Amino acid sequence: MSHFVRPRELENPAVRLVVFHHAGGSAASYFPLTRHVPADWDVLLLDLPGRGKRHAQPALETMDEIVAAVAEDVRPWADGTPLALFGHSLGAVVAHETARALEARGPGPGWVGVSGRGAPGHEVLMRLPDHGSADADLIARLRSMGGMPERLDAVPEFRDRFLRLVRCDLRAVAEYRPRAHRPPLAASLTAFGAAQDSWAPVASMAAWARQTRGRFSERVYAGGHFHFLGSSFEAFAADLVEEITTALPAVPAVRSSAVHTSA
Whether residue 259 has pLDDT greater than 90: no
Convert the pLDDT of each residue in 75-116 to its tens digit.
Answer: 999 989 999 999 999 999 999 999 999 999 988 999 999 999
Q: For residue range 27-65, what is the model confidence (pLDDT) as tens digits?
A: 988 998 989 999 999 999 999 999 888 988 999 989 999
- The closest alpha carbon to 63, from 179, 166, 167, 175, belongs to 175
- Whether residue 217 is predicted with pLDDT greater than 70 in this model: the reply is yes
What is the mean predicted confidence (pLDDT) over 138-145? 74
Residues 53, 27: contact at Cβ < 8 Å?
yes
As a whole number, the mean pLDDT across the chain is 86
The structure's pTM equals 0.89
4-256, which class in CATH? alpha beta
State residue 118's pLDDT score.
92
**Whole-angstrom distance, CA of residue 12 vs CA of residue 16:** 9
pLDDT of residue 25: 87
For 164-184, what is each residue's pLDDT tens digit?
Answer: 888 899 889 888 888 888 999
Distance CA 191, CA 242 (A): 13
- Domains of the chain by residue range: 4-256
CA distance 91 to 48: 10
Q: What is the DSSP letter of 212?
A: B
Helix (H, G, I), strand (E, B) or coil at 39: coil
Residues serving a catalytic function are 89, 225
